[in-house]
Structure 1
Protein backbone atom coordinates (compact mmCIF):
# COMPACT_ATOMS: atom_id res chain seq x y z
CA UNK A 1 0.00 0.00 0.00
CA UNK A 2 1.15 3.53 -0.78
CA UNK A 3 0.72 4.81 2.79
CA UNK A 4 3.01 2.04 4.10
CA UNK A 5 5.63 2.95 1.51
CA UNK A 6 5.43 6.65 2.43
CA UNK A 7 5.90 5.84 6.11
CA UNK A 8 8.81 3.55 5.31
CA UNK A 9 10.51 6.25 3.23
CA UNK A 10 10.19 8.72 6.12
CA UNK A 11 11.70 6.23 8.55
CA UNK A 12 14.62 5.45 6.23
CA UNK A 13 15.31 9.16 5.72
CA UNK A 14 15.23 9.76 9.46
CA UNK A 15 17.87 7.08 9.91
CA UNK A 16 20.21 7.99 7.05
CA UNK A 17 22.00 11.12 5.98
CA UNK A 18 21.00 10.67 2.33
CA UNK A 19 19.51 8.07 0.01
CA UNK A 20 19.06 8.22 -3.75
CA UNK A 21 15.79 7.90 -5.64
CA UNK A 22 17.21 4.88 -7.49
CA UNK A 23 18.01 3.05 -4.25
CA UNK A 24 14.53 3.76 -2.88
CA UNK A 25 12.95 2.58 -6.13
CA UNK A 26 14.88 -0.69 -5.97
CA UNK A 27 14.01 -1.22 -2.30
CA UNK A 28 10.27 -0.78 -2.85
CA UNK A 29 10.18 -2.24 -6.38
CA UNK A 30 8.61 0.84 -7.95
CA UNK A 31 9.75 3.36 -10.58
CA UNK A 32 11.97 6.34 -9.85
CA UNK A 33 9.10 8.55 -10.99
CA UNK A 34 6.88 6.99 -8.27
CA UNK A 35 9.53 7.77 -5.64
CA UNK A 36 9.60 11.42 -6.69
CA UNK A 37 5.81 11.56 -6.39
CA UNK A 38 6.04 9.92 -2.95
CA UNK A 39 8.60 12.48 -1.77
CA UNK A 40 6.37 15.29 -3.00
CA UNK A 41 3.43 13.81 -1.05
CA UNK A 42 5.57 13.57 2.10
CA UNK A 43 6.62 17.21 1.72
CA UNK A 44 2.97 18.24 1.35
CA UNK A 45 2.23 16.40 4.60
CA UNK A 46 4.63 18.75 6.38
CA UNK A 47 7.74 16.58 6.65
CA UNK A 48 10.65 18.59 5.18
CA UNK A 49 12.59 16.52 2.63
CA UNK A 50 15.32 18.20 0.60
CA UNK A 51 17.43 16.87 -2.26
CA UNK A 52 21.03 17.22 -3.36
CA UNK A 53 22.24 16.66 -6.91
CA UNK A 54 25.43 14.95 -8.05
CA UNK A 55 27.27 11.67 -7.45
CA UNK A 56 26.84 11.85 -3.69
CA UNK A 57 23.39 13.35 -3.88
CA UNK A 58 20.02 12.09 -2.78
CA UNK A 59 17.08 12.87 -0.56
CA UNK A 60 17.50 13.83 3.07
CA UNK A 61 15.38 15.15 5.94
CA UNK A 62 16.23 18.53 7.41
CA UNK A 63 18.09 18.32 10.71
CA UNK A 64 15.46 20.20 12.69
CA UNK A 65 12.87 17.45 12.13
CA UNK A 66 12.86 15.21 15.25
CA UNK A 67 10.99 12.22 16.61
CA UNK A 68 10.69 11.78 20.36
CA UNK A 69 12.52 8.77 21.73
CA UNK A 70 11.68 9.33 25.40
CA UNK A 71 9.39 6.28 25.59
CA UNK A 72 12.33 3.89 24.99
CA UNK A 73 15.67 3.61 26.74
CA UNK A 74 18.87 3.05 24.77
CA UNK A 75 18.96 -0.53 26.08
CA UNK A 76 15.39 -1.07 24.83
CA UNK A 77 16.34 0.14 21.36
CA UNK A 78 19.44 -2.06 21.20
CA UNK A 79 17.46 -5.13 22.28
CA UNK A 80 14.72 -4.51 19.71
CA UNK A 81 17.11 -3.92 16.82
CA UNK A 82 19.25 -6.94 17.77
CA UNK A 83 16.18 -9.20 17.84
CA UNK A 84 14.93 -7.85 14.51
CA UNK A 85 18.38 -8.20 12.94
CA UNK A 86 18.59 -11.87 13.83
CA UNK A 87 15.04 -12.56 12.65
CA UNK A 88 15.81 -10.87 9.36
CA UNK A 89 19.01 -12.89 9.00
CA UNK A 90 16.74 -15.88 8.36
CA UNK A 91 13.68 -14.34 6.73
CA UNK A 92 15.17 -11.44 4.74
CA UNK A 93 11.81 -9.70 5.08
CA UNK A 94 11.35 -6.07 4.02
CA UNK A 95 8.81 -5.43 6.78
CA UNK A 96 11.35 -6.51 9.39
CA UNK A 97 14.00 -4.34 7.72
CA UNK A 98 11.66 -1.35 7.84
CA UNK A 99 10.89 -2.03 11.51
CA UNK A 100 14.64 -1.95 12.21
CA UNK A 101 14.91 1.38 10.41
CA UNK A 102 12.05 2.78 12.53
CA UNK A 103 13.75 1.88 15.78
CA UNK A 104 17.18 3.07 14.60
CA UNK A 105 15.70 6.41 13.59
CA UNK A 106 14.83 7.33 17.18
CA UNK A 107 18.25 6.49 18.65
CA UNK A 108 19.81 9.82 19.74
CA UNK A 109 22.56 11.02 17.41
CA UNK A 110 25.10 11.17 20.23
CA UNK A 111 24.45 7.47 20.98
CA UNK A 112 24.63 6.05 17.45
CA UNK A 113 28.39 5.34 17.65
CA UNK A 114 27.85 3.41 20.90
CA UNK A 115 25.09 1.35 19.30
CA UNK A 116 27.14 0.63 16.17
CA UNK A 117 30.02 -0.57 18.35
CA UNK A 118 27.64 -2.84 20.28
CA UNK A 119 26.45 -4.58 17.12
CA UNK A 120 30.05 -5.17 16.01
CA UNK A 121 30.72 -6.94 19.31
CA UNK A 122 27.70 -9.28 19.22
CA UNK A 123 26.73 -11.67 16.45
CA UNK A 124 24.17 -14.48 16.73
CA UNK A 125 24.52 -17.45 14.39
CA UNK A 126 21.93 -20.22 14.79
CA UNK A 127 23.94 -22.83 12.89
CA UNK A 128 26.33 -25.34 14.53
CA UNK A 129 30.05 -25.09 13.76
CA UNK A 130 30.99 -26.59 10.41
CA UNK A 131 27.53 -26.06 8.84
CA UNK A 132 26.29 -23.49 6.38
CA UNK A 133 22.72 -22.59 5.52
CA UNK A 134 21.70 -23.72 2.06
CA UNK A 135 19.76 -21.55 -0.35
CA UNK A 136 17.05 -24.23 -0.35
CA UNK A 137 16.54 -23.75 3.40
CA UNK A 138 16.23 -19.97 2.96
CA UNK A 139 13.53 -20.54 0.33
CA UNK A 140 11.63 -22.79 2.75
CA UNK A 141 11.70 -20.12 5.47
CA UNK A 142 10.40 -17.51 3.05
CA UNK A 143 7.55 -19.69 1.74
CA UNK A 144 6.41 -20.61 5.24
CA UNK A 145 6.79 -17.08 6.58
CA UNK A 146 4.70 -15.65 3.73
CA UNK A 147 2.05 -18.33 4.30
CA UNK A 148 1.93 -17.36 7.98
CA UNK A 149 1.59 -13.69 7.11
CA UNK A 150 -1.25 -14.20 4.64
CA UNK A 151 -3.01 -17.11 6.42
CA UNK A 152 -2.46 -19.64 3.63
CA UNK A 153 -2.21 -23.42 3.67
CA UNK A 154 1.06 -25.09 2.67
CA UNK A 155 1.69 -28.56 1.28
CA UNK A 156 4.79 -30.74 1.12
CA UNK A 157 6.15 -34.27 1.12
CA UNK A 158 7.45 -35.20 4.57
CA UNK A 159 10.11 -37.83 5.22
CA UNK A 160 9.33 -39.91 8.32
CA UNK A 161 11.78 -41.89 10.48
CA UNK A 162 11.50 -44.85 8.06
CA UNK A 163 12.62 -42.71 5.13
CA UNK A 164 9.15 -42.73 3.57
CA UNK A 165 7.65 -39.57 2.07
CA UNK A 166 4.03 -38.78 2.95
CA UNK A 167 2.10 -35.90 1.39
CA UNK A 168 0.89 -33.36 3.94
CA UNK A 169 -1.37 -30.35 3.68
CA UNK A 170 -1.21 -28.21 6.81
CA UNK A 171 -2.26 -24.97 8.42
CA UNK A 172 1.05 -23.36 9.50
CA UNK A 173 0.92 -21.80 12.97
CA UNK A 174 4.47 -21.00 14.15
CA UNK A 175 8.05 -21.23 12.91
CA UNK A 176 10.10 -22.75 15.74
CA UNK A 177 13.88 -22.86 16.24
CA UNK A 178 14.88 -25.58 18.72
CA UNK A 179 18.05 -27.58 19.24
CA UNK A 180 19.93 -26.14 16.20
CA UNK A 181 17.02 -26.99 13.85
CA UNK A 182 13.99 -25.22 12.41
CA UNK A 183 10.47 -26.66 12.65
CA UNK A 184 6.99 -25.64 11.57
CA UNK A 185 4.23 -26.12 14.14
CA UNK A 186 1.04 -26.83 12.18
CA UNK A 187 -2.41 -28.34 12.15
CA UNK A 188 -2.20 -31.36 9.84
CA UNK A 189 -5.30 -32.02 7.71
CA UNK A 190 -4.23 -35.66 7.22
CA UNK A 191 -3.92 -36.50 10.93
CA UNK A 192 -6.60 -34.00 12.03
CA UNK A 193 -4.30 -32.89 14.81
CA UNK A 194 -1.33 -30.65 15.62
CA UNK A 195 2.08 -31.76 14.38
CA UNK A 196 5.64 -30.39 14.43
CA UNK A 197 7.54 -30.87 11.15
CA UNK A 198 11.31 -30.51 10.80
CA UNK A 199 12.18 -28.28 7.84
CA UNK A 200 15.12 -30.43 6.75
CA UNK A 201 12.71 -33.35 6.18
CA UNK A 202 10.35 -31.30 4.01
CA UNK A 203 10.48 -31.61 0.23
CA UNK A 204 8.35 -30.08 -2.51
CA UNK A 205 7.11 -27.25 -0.27
CA UNK A 206 4.33 -25.11 -1.79
CA UNK A 207 2.20 -22.24 -0.57
CA UNK A 208 -1.45 -22.74 -1.55
CA UNK A 209 -4.01 -20.13 -2.56
CA UNK A 210 -6.50 -21.59 -0.09
CA UNK A 211 -7.02 -19.23 2.85
CA UNK A 212 -7.17 -20.31 6.51
CA UNK A 213 -10.06 -18.95 8.57
CA UNK A 214 -9.81 -21.08 11.71
CA UNK A 215 -8.12 -20.03 14.93
CA UNK A 216 -5.53 -22.48 16.22
CA UNK A 217 -3.83 -22.73 19.63
CA UNK A 218 -0.38 -21.25 20.01
CA UNK A 219 2.83 -23.28 20.06
CA UNK A 220 3.34 -22.37 23.73
CA UNK A 221 -0.13 -23.68 24.66
CA UNK A 222 0.48 -26.89 22.70
CA UNK A 223 3.87 -27.55 24.35
CA UNK A 224 2.46 -26.90 27.82
CA UNK A 225 -0.41 -29.34 27.25
CA UNK A 226 1.89 -31.92 25.64
CA UNK A 227 4.47 -31.73 28.44
CA UNK A 228 1.77 -32.33 31.04
CA UNK A 229 1.08 -35.74 29.43
CA UNK A 230 4.72 -36.86 29.47
CA UNK A 231 6.28 -38.82 32.31
CA UNK A 232 9.88 -37.95 33.16
CA UNK A 233 12.53 -40.58 33.86
CA UNK A 234 15.30 -40.23 36.44
CA UNK A 235 18.63 -40.77 34.71
CA UNK A 236 22.04 -41.28 36.31
CA UNK A 237 25.14 -40.99 34.11
CA UNK A 238 28.84 -41.29 34.86
CA UNK A 239 31.03 -39.12 32.63
CA UNK A 240 34.79 -39.21 32.10
CA UNK A 241 36.71 -36.09 33.08
CA UNK A 242 37.70 -35.86 29.38
CA UNK A 243 34.22 -34.55 28.51
CA UNK A 244 33.75 -32.41 31.62
CA UNK A 245 33.72 -29.25 29.50
CA UNK A 246 30.78 -30.60 27.46
CA UNK A 247 28.61 -31.65 30.36
CA UNK A 248 29.20 -28.36 32.15
CA UNK A 249 27.79 -26.62 29.08
CA UNK A 250 24.74 -28.87 28.99
CA UNK A 251 23.68 -29.88 32.52
CA UNK A 252 22.90 -27.70 35.53
CA UNK A 253 25.57 -27.52 38.21
CA UNK A 254 23.22 -28.83 40.91
CA UNK A 255 22.77 -32.02 38.85
CA UNK A 256 26.50 -32.79 38.89
CA UNK A 257 28.65 -34.52 41.52
CA UNK A 258 32.42 -34.26 40.98
CA UNK A 259 34.39 -37.34 42.07
CA UNK A 260 37.96 -37.39 43.39
CA UNK A 261 39.20 -39.23 40.29
CA UNK A 262 37.96 -36.39 38.07
CA UNK A 263 34.88 -38.20 36.77
CA UNK A 264 31.42 -36.66 37.10
CA UNK A 265 28.09 -38.20 38.10
CA UNK A 266 25.03 -36.51 36.61
CA UNK A 267 21.59 -37.14 38.08
CA UNK A 268 18.86 -35.58 35.97
CA UNK A 269 15.31 -36.10 34.73
CA UNK A 270 14.46 -36.53 31.04
CA UNK A 271 11.54 -37.42 28.81
CA UNK A 272 12.67 -40.81 27.50
CA UNK A 273 12.77 -41.04 23.71
CA UNK A 274 15.21 -41.61 20.85
CA UNK A 275 16.71 -38.18 21.40
CA UNK A 276 17.88 -39.22 24.89
CA UNK A 277 19.55 -42.35 23.49
CA UNK A 278 21.27 -40.29 20.78
CA UNK A 279 22.49 -37.79 23.35
CA UNK A 280 24.03 -40.56 25.48
CA UNK A 281 25.63 -42.26 22.47
CA UNK A 282 27.15 -38.95 21.33
CA UNK A 283 29.56 -39.17 24.29
CA UNK A 284 30.90 -42.53 23.05
CA UNK A 285 33.20 -44.33 25.50
CA UNK A 286 33.21 -41.35 27.86
CA UNK A 287 29.81 -42.03 29.45
CA UNK A 288 28.21 -44.93 31.33
CA UNK A 289 24.51 -45.24 32.14
CA UNK A 290 24.18 -46.15 35.81
CA UNK A 291 20.39 -45.95 36.15
CA UNK A 292 17.79 -46.95 35.14
CA UNK A 293 18.71 -50.48 34.09
CA UNK A 294 16.24 -50.33 31.18
CA UNK A 295 18.06 -47.46 29.49
CA UNK A 296 21.40 -49.08 30.30
CA UNK A 297 20.29 -52.20 28.37
CA UNK A 298 19.00 -50.12 25.44
CA UNK A 299 22.35 -48.32 25.11
CA UNK A 300 24.22 -51.62 25.45
CA UNK A 301 22.23 -53.15 22.56
CA UNK A 302 22.75 -50.10 20.36
CA UNK A 303 26.49 -50.22 21.04
CA UNK A 304 26.56 -53.90 20.06
CA UNK A 305 24.86 -53.10 16.74
CA UNK A 306 27.40 -50.37 16.02
CA UNK A 307 30.28 -52.70 16.94
CA UNK A 308 28.93 -55.44 14.66
CA UNK A 309 28.97 -53.02 11.73
CA UNK A 310 32.75 -52.72 12.01
CA UNK A 311 33.56 -56.43 12.37
Structure 2
Protein backbone atom coordinates (compact mmCIF):
# COMPACT_ATOMS: atom_id res chain seq x y z
CA UNK A 1 0.00 0.00 0.00
CA UNK A 2 2.87 2.36 0.80
CA UNK A 3 4.44 1.74 -2.61
CA UNK A 4 1.18 2.63 -4.37
CA UNK A 5 0.96 5.81 -2.28
CA UNK A 6 4.52 6.78 -3.15
CA UNK A 7 3.94 6.24 -6.87
CA UNK A 8 0.70 8.23 -6.74
CA UNK A 9 2.48 11.03 -4.85
CA UNK A 10 5.15 11.25 -7.53
CA UNK A 11 2.51 11.73 -10.22
CA UNK A 12 0.70 14.29 -8.09
CA UNK A 13 3.90 16.27 -7.65
CA UNK A 14 4.60 16.02 -11.37
CA UNK A 15 1.17 17.45 -12.07
CA UNK A 16 1.46 20.46 -9.76
CA UNK A 17 4.00 23.20 -9.18
CA UNK A 18 3.76 23.01 -5.39
CA UNK A 19 1.70 20.77 -3.09
CA UNK A 20 1.57 21.34 0.65
CA UNK A 21 2.19 18.57 3.16
CA UNK A 22 -1.29 19.16 4.55
CA UNK A 23 -2.90 18.66 1.13
CA UNK A 24 -0.92 15.46 0.59
CA UNK A 25 -1.88 14.17 4.03
CA UNK A 26 -5.58 14.80 3.34
CA UNK A 27 -5.34 13.24 -0.10
CA UNK A 28 -3.86 9.98 1.19
CA UNK A 29 -5.50 9.97 4.63
CA UNK A 30 -2.21 9.87 6.53
CA UNK A 31 -0.47 12.22 8.96
CA UNK A 32 1.87 15.04 7.83
CA UNK A 33 4.69 13.17 9.60
CA UNK A 34 4.07 10.19 7.27
CA UNK A 35 4.18 12.54 4.27
CA UNK A 36 7.59 13.84 5.31
CA UNK A 37 8.87 10.25 5.55
CA UNK A 38 7.40 9.48 2.14
CA UNK A 39 9.13 12.54 0.63
CA UNK A 40 12.43 11.31 2.04
CA UNK A 41 11.82 7.90 0.46
CA UNK A 42 11.04 9.52 -2.91
CA UNK A 43 14.23 11.58 -2.73
CA UNK A 44 16.21 8.45 -1.81
CA UNK A 45 14.88 6.83 -5.00
CA UNK A 46 16.57 9.57 -7.05
CA UNK A 47 13.58 11.78 -7.77
CA UNK A 48 14.54 15.43 -7.11
CA UNK A 49 11.84 16.79 -4.79
CA UNK A 50 12.25 20.45 -3.88
CA UNK A 51 10.94 21.93 -0.62
CA UNK A 52 9.45 25.45 -0.79
CA UNK A 53 9.10 27.52 2.37
CA UNK A 54 6.51 30.15 3.25
CA UNK A 55 2.75 30.48 3.43
CA UNK A 56 2.26 28.89 0.00
CA UNK A 57 5.09 26.45 0.47
CA UNK A 58 5.17 22.73 0.04
CA UNK A 59 6.85 20.22 -2.22
CA UNK A 60 7.48 20.09 -5.95
CA UNK A 61 9.66 18.32 -8.50
CA UNK A 62 12.36 20.06 -10.52
CA UNK A 63 11.12 21.11 -13.95
CA UNK A 64 14.13 19.50 -15.63
CA UNK A 65 13.00 16.12 -14.34
CA UNK A 66 9.42 16.27 -15.58
CA UNK A 67 8.20 14.18 -18.46
CA UNK A 68 8.74 15.43 -21.98
CA UNK A 69 5.40 16.61 -23.31
CA UNK A 70 6.52 15.98 -26.90
CA UNK A 71 5.83 12.28 -26.35
CA UNK A 72 2.13 13.00 -26.78
CA UNK A 73 0.45 16.04 -28.19
CA UNK A 74 -1.95 18.06 -26.08
CA UNK A 75 -4.86 16.84 -28.22
CA UNK A 76 -3.86 13.19 -27.69
CA UNK A 77 -3.53 13.59 -23.95
CA UNK A 78 -6.76 15.58 -23.67
CA UNK A 79 -8.70 12.93 -25.59
CA UNK A 80 -7.32 10.10 -23.47
CA UNK A 81 -7.97 11.95 -20.23
CA UNK A 82 -11.54 12.73 -21.27
CA UNK A 83 -12.28 9.09 -22.14
CA UNK A 84 -10.75 7.80 -18.90
CA UNK A 85 -12.60 10.33 -16.76
CA UNK A 86 -15.84 9.39 -18.47
CA UNK A 87 -15.21 5.69 -17.85
CA UNK A 88 -14.47 6.42 -14.22
CA UNK A 89 -17.76 8.28 -13.83
CA UNK A 90 -19.82 5.47 -15.40
CA UNK A 91 -18.13 2.50 -13.73
CA UNK A 92 -16.80 4.10 -10.54
CA UNK A 93 -13.36 3.05 -11.74
CA UNK A 94 -10.71 4.56 -9.48
CA UNK A 95 -7.93 2.99 -11.53
CA UNK A 96 -9.13 4.77 -14.68
CA UNK A 97 -9.23 8.06 -12.80
CA UNK A 98 -5.72 7.49 -11.46
CA UNK A 99 -4.46 6.80 -14.99
CA UNK A 100 -6.13 10.02 -16.19
CA UNK A 101 -4.44 11.87 -13.38
CA UNK A 102 -1.05 10.47 -14.45
CA UNK A 103 -1.61 11.49 -18.07
CA UNK A 104 -2.32 15.03 -16.98
CA UNK A 105 1.31 15.32 -15.90
CA UNK A 106 2.34 15.63 -19.54
CA UNK A 107 -0.43 18.04 -20.43
CA UNK A 108 0.47 21.70 -20.36
CA UNK A 109 -0.89 23.45 -17.28
CA UNK A 110 -2.15 26.40 -19.30
CA UNK A 111 -3.55 24.32 -22.17
CA UNK A 112 -7.32 24.26 -22.20
CA UNK A 113 -8.79 20.89 -23.25
CA UNK A 114 -10.32 21.05 -26.70
CA UNK A 115 -12.33 17.88 -26.21
CA UNK A 116 -14.72 16.80 -23.50
CA UNK A 117 -16.75 13.62 -23.51
CA UNK A 118 -19.31 12.40 -21.02
CA UNK A 119 -20.02 8.76 -21.70
CA UNK A 120 -23.63 8.24 -20.73
CA UNK A 121 -25.26 5.19 -19.23
CA UNK A 122 -27.95 5.44 -21.89
CA UNK A 123 -31.05 3.72 -20.55
CA UNK A 124 -29.05 1.13 -18.65
CA UNK A 125 -28.87 0.75 -14.89
CA UNK A 126 -25.37 1.81 -13.73
CA UNK A 127 -25.30 -1.10 -11.27
CA UNK A 128 -26.04 -3.47 -14.15
CA UNK A 129 -23.14 -2.02 -16.12
CA UNK A 130 -20.78 -2.55 -13.19
CA UNK A 131 -22.06 -6.10 -12.71
CA UNK A 132 -21.47 -6.85 -16.38
CA UNK A 133 -17.99 -5.35 -16.39
CA UNK A 134 -16.99 -7.25 -13.25
CA UNK A 135 -18.31 -10.51 -14.74
CA UNK A 136 -16.25 -9.95 -17.89
CA UNK A 137 -13.14 -9.20 -15.86
CA UNK A 138 -13.60 -12.22 -13.56
CA UNK A 139 -14.90 -14.58 -16.30
CA UNK A 140 -18.13 -15.27 -14.41
CA UNK A 141 -21.34 -16.71 -15.87
CA UNK A 142 -24.35 -14.38 -16.02
CA UNK A 143 -28.05 -15.15 -15.78
CA UNK A 144 -30.89 -12.86 -16.85
CA UNK A 145 -34.25 -12.67 -18.58
CA UNK A 146 -34.05 -11.05 -22.00
CA UNK A 147 -36.86 -9.11 -23.67
CA UNK A 148 -36.62 -9.31 -27.46
CA UNK A 149 -37.70 -6.59 -29.89
CA UNK A 150 -40.95 -8.56 -30.31
CA UNK A 151 -41.60 -8.53 -26.56
CA UNK A 152 -40.73 -12.21 -26.04
CA UNK A 153 -39.11 -13.21 -22.72
CA UNK A 154 -36.41 -15.87 -22.56
CA UNK A 155 -34.16 -17.04 -19.74
CA UNK A 156 -30.52 -16.68 -20.74
CA UNK A 157 -27.29 -18.07 -19.33
CA UNK A 158 -24.26 -16.44 -20.94
CA UNK A 159 -20.50 -16.14 -20.78
CA UNK A 160 -19.84 -12.39 -21.19
CA UNK A 161 -17.14 -11.22 -23.59
CA UNK A 162 -17.38 -7.48 -24.21
CA UNK A 163 -19.40 -4.36 -23.41
CA UNK A 164 -19.96 -1.89 -26.23
CA UNK A 165 -21.43 1.62 -26.16
CA UNK A 166 -22.88 2.92 -29.42
CA UNK A 167 -25.82 5.02 -30.55
CA UNK A 168 -26.52 6.09 -26.95
CA UNK A 169 -27.00 2.49 -25.78
CA UNK A 170 -24.96 -0.28 -24.14
CA UNK A 171 -24.69 -3.78 -25.62
CA UNK A 172 -23.26 -7.00 -24.22
CA UNK A 173 -21.54 -9.43 -26.59
CA UNK A 174 -21.54 -12.90 -25.04
CA UNK A 175 -21.60 -16.61 -25.68
CA UNK A 176 -25.18 -17.67 -25.00
CA UNK A 177 -25.41 -21.15 -23.53
CA UNK A 178 -29.16 -21.09 -24.10
CA UNK A 179 -28.68 -20.68 -27.87
CA UNK A 180 -25.24 -22.34 -28.08
CA UNK A 181 -23.94 -19.40 -30.09
CA UNK A 182 -22.65 -15.85 -29.76
CA UNK A 183 -25.24 -13.16 -29.30
CA UNK A 184 -25.42 -9.41 -28.71
CA UNK A 185 -27.83 -8.22 -26.02
CA UNK A 186 -29.10 -4.70 -25.47
CA UNK A 187 -28.41 -4.02 -21.79
CA UNK A 188 -31.68 -2.17 -20.93
CA UNK A 189 -33.62 -5.26 -22.08
CA UNK A 190 -31.79 -7.51 -19.62
CA UNK A 191 -33.87 -7.94 -16.45
CA UNK A 192 -33.33 -10.00 -13.29
CA UNK A 193 -29.61 -9.82 -14.01
CA UNK A 194 -27.30 -11.71 -11.66
CA UNK A 195 -23.66 -12.75 -11.76
CA UNK A 196 -23.17 -16.32 -10.61
CA UNK A 197 -20.20 -17.74 -8.73
CA UNK A 198 -19.53 -20.10 -11.64
CA UNK A 199 -16.37 -19.26 -13.60
CA UNK A 200 -15.86 -20.11 -17.25
CA UNK A 201 -12.47 -20.95 -18.67
CA UNK A 202 -13.08 -20.81 -22.40
CA UNK A 203 -11.24 -17.96 -24.14
CA UNK A 204 -13.87 -16.34 -26.28
CA UNK A 205 -12.91 -14.34 -29.37
CA UNK A 206 -13.85 -10.69 -29.54
CA UNK A 207 -16.83 -9.82 -31.72
CA UNK A 208 -16.15 -9.30 -35.42
CA UNK A 209 -15.67 -5.71 -36.45
CA UNK A 210 -19.04 -5.66 -38.19
CA UNK A 211 -20.71 -6.08 -34.78
CA UNK A 212 -19.34 -2.70 -33.73
CA UNK A 213 -19.85 -0.67 -36.88
CA UNK A 214 -22.96 0.52 -38.70
CA UNK A 215 -24.30 -2.12 -41.05
CA UNK A 216 -24.68 -1.15 -44.69
CA UNK A 217 -27.95 -2.25 -46.19
CA UNK A 218 -27.70 -4.30 -49.38
CA UNK A 219 -28.94 -2.53 -52.46
CA UNK A 220 -31.83 -4.98 -52.87
CA UNK A 221 -33.08 -4.60 -49.29
CA UNK A 222 -36.77 -3.56 -49.17
CA UNK A 223 -37.45 0.00 -48.10
CA UNK A 224 -39.90 2.88 -48.12
CA UNK A 225 -39.14 6.56 -48.69
CA UNK A 226 -40.88 8.56 -45.99
CA UNK A 227 -41.56 12.29 -46.33
CA UNK A 228 -42.09 13.93 -42.94
CA UNK A 229 -43.27 17.46 -42.15
CA UNK A 230 -42.17 18.81 -38.76
CA UNK A 231 -43.59 21.95 -37.18
CA UNK A 232 -41.36 24.79 -36.01
CA UNK A 233 -41.93 23.78 -32.38
CA UNK A 234 -40.56 20.29 -33.12
CA UNK A 235 -37.41 21.31 -35.01
CA UNK A 236 -34.92 20.54 -32.24
CA UNK A 237 -36.18 17.00 -31.61
CA UNK A 238 -36.56 16.38 -35.33
CA UNK A 239 -32.88 17.20 -35.86
CA UNK A 240 -31.95 14.98 -32.90
CA UNK A 241 -33.60 11.97 -34.50
CA UNK A 242 -33.30 12.63 -38.24
CA UNK A 243 -30.09 14.61 -38.63
CA UNK A 244 -28.61 12.08 -41.10
CA UNK A 245 -31.41 12.33 -43.62
CA UNK A 246 -32.12 14.86 -46.36
CA UNK A 247 -33.60 18.04 -44.91
CA UNK A 248 -35.08 21.23 -46.29
CA UNK A 249 -36.74 24.18 -44.58
CA UNK A 250 -40.00 25.73 -45.67
CA UNK A 251 -40.49 29.53 -45.77
CA UNK A 252 -42.52 29.34 -42.53
CA UNK A 253 -39.59 27.67 -40.74
CA UNK A 254 -41.03 24.16 -40.67
CA UNK A 255 -38.92 21.21 -41.80
CA UNK A 256 -39.28 18.56 -44.48
CA UNK A 257 -37.31 15.35 -43.94
CA UNK A 258 -36.92 12.63 -46.57
CA UNK A 259 -35.93 9.38 -44.82
CA UNK A 260 -35.32 5.98 -46.39
CA UNK A 261 -36.60 3.30 -43.99
CA UNK A 262 -35.31 -0.22 -44.66
CA UNK A 263 -37.20 -3.45 -43.98
CA UNK A 264 -40.51 -1.72 -43.29
CA UNK A 265 -43.02 -2.86 -42.01
CA UNK A 266 -40.99 -5.51 -40.09
CA UNK A 267 -38.70 -2.80 -38.69
CA UNK A 268 -41.22 -0.42 -37.14
CA UNK A 269 -38.75 1.62 -35.10
CA UNK A 270 -39.91 4.80 -36.80
CA UNK A 271 -43.53 4.46 -35.66
CA UNK A 272 -43.06 5.06 -31.89
CA UNK A 273 -40.59 7.84 -32.66
CA UNK A 274 -43.10 9.65 -34.85
CA UNK A 275 -45.87 9.11 -32.31
CA UNK A 276 -43.69 10.76 -29.66
CA UNK A 277 -43.89 14.03 -31.65
CA UNK A 278 -47.67 14.19 -31.23
CA UNK A 279 -49.11 16.85 -33.52
CA UNK A 280 -45.62 18.15 -34.25
CA UNK A 281 -45.15 15.88 -37.27
CA UNK A 282 -47.23 14.82 -40.24
CA UNK A 283 -46.31 11.90 -42.50
CA UNK A 284 -46.86 13.09 -46.06
CA UNK A 285 -45.69 9.86 -47.69
CA UNK A 286 -46.10 6.91 -48.00
CA UNK A 287 -49.76 6.03 -47.51
CA UNK A 288 -49.00 2.80 -45.62
CA UNK A 289 -47.02 4.65 -42.96
CA UNK A 290 -49.80 7.23 -42.58
CA UNK A 291 -52.28 4.38 -42.11
CA UNK A 292 -50.04 2.67 -39.55
CA UNK A 293 -49.85 5.85 -37.46
CA UNK A 294 -53.61 6.34 -37.76
CA UNK A 295 -54.28 2.83 -36.46
CA UNK A 296 -51.86 3.26 -33.56
CA UNK A 297 -53.45 6.57 -32.59
CA UNK A 298 -56.92 5.03 -32.66
CA UNK A 299 -55.74 2.21 -30.37
CA UNK A 300 -54.30 4.78 -28.00
CA UNK A 301 -57.51 6.82 -28.00
CA UNK A 302 -59.53 3.67 -27.21
CA UNK A 303 -57.60 3.33 -23.93
CA UNK A 304 -59.01 6.70 -22.84
CA UNK A 305 -62.53 6.31 -24.19
CA UNK A 306 -64.03 6.51 -20.68
CA UNK A 307 -62.19 9.65 -19.61
Three-state SS of the structure 2 residue aligned to 1:270 is: strand
TM-score, normalised via structure 1 length: 0.73
**Higher helix residue share:** 1
1:216 to 189, 198, 205: 205
Moved more, 10-19 or 82-91: 10-19
Structure 2: runs of 5+ lacking an equivalent: none
Measure the CA separation in 1 of the matches of 2:178 and 2:38. Answer: 48
Give the secondary-structure state (helix, strand or coil) at the position aligned to 1:70. Answer: helix
Structure 2 equivalent of residue 70 of structure 1: 70
Matched residue of 2:165: which SS?
Answer: strand
Alignment partners' CA distance in 2, 1:172 and 1:33: 47
Q: CA deviation at 1:296?
A: 3.2
Structure 1 partner of 2:140: 153
Q: Which moved more, 1:217-226 or 1:186-195?
A: 217-226
- Matches of 2:73 and 2:275 in 1, distance apart? 47
In the superposition, relative to structure 1, how do residues 248 and 178 fare at CA in structure 2: closer, same or farther (>3 Å)? Answer: closer
Q: 2: distance between equivalents of 1:177 and 1:282?
A: 22
Instruction: Answer yes or no: is 1:256 the counterpart of 2:243.
Output: no
Q: Which residue of 1 aligns with 2:89?
A: 89
What secondary structure does 1:217 align onto?
coil
Write out per-residue CA displacement over residues 152-200 of structure 1, whole angstroms, 9 at most, x where no aligned residue.
1341322415474624323231232433x33323232212221223246
Looking at structure 1, the residues matched to 56 and 25 of structure 2 have their Cα atoms a distance apart, in angstroms, of: 12
1:13–1:60: 8 Å Cα contact kept in structure 2? Answer: yes
Q: Describe the SS at the equivalent of 1:156.
A: strand
Q: Does 1:307 align with 2:294?
A: no
* 2:174 and 2:184 in contact (8 A); partners too: yes
Moved more, 236-245 or 55-64: 55-64
- Aligned counterparts of 1:14 and 1:287: Cα–Cα separation in 2: 56
Q: Displacement, 1:105? A: 0.6
May I ask how many residue pairs the two structures share in their alignment?
293
Structure 2 equivalent of residue 196 of structure 1: 185
1:241 maps to 231
Question: Match of 2:69, SS?
Answer: coil
Which stretch has the larger CA shift, 274-283 or 250-259?
250-259
Shift in Å at residue 70 of structure 1? 1.0
Q: CA deviation at 1:268?
A: 1.6
Match among 187, 192, 195 for residue 206 of structure 1: 195
TM-score between both structures, scaled by the size of structure 2: 0.74
2:88 equivalent to 1:98: no
CA distance in 2, matches of 1:40, 1:213: 48
Range moving further from structure 2, 14-23 or 2-11 = 2-11
Deviation at 1:213, TM superposition (A): 3.5
Residue 255 of structure 1 deviates from its aligned partner by 0.8
1:10 aligned to 2:10?
yes
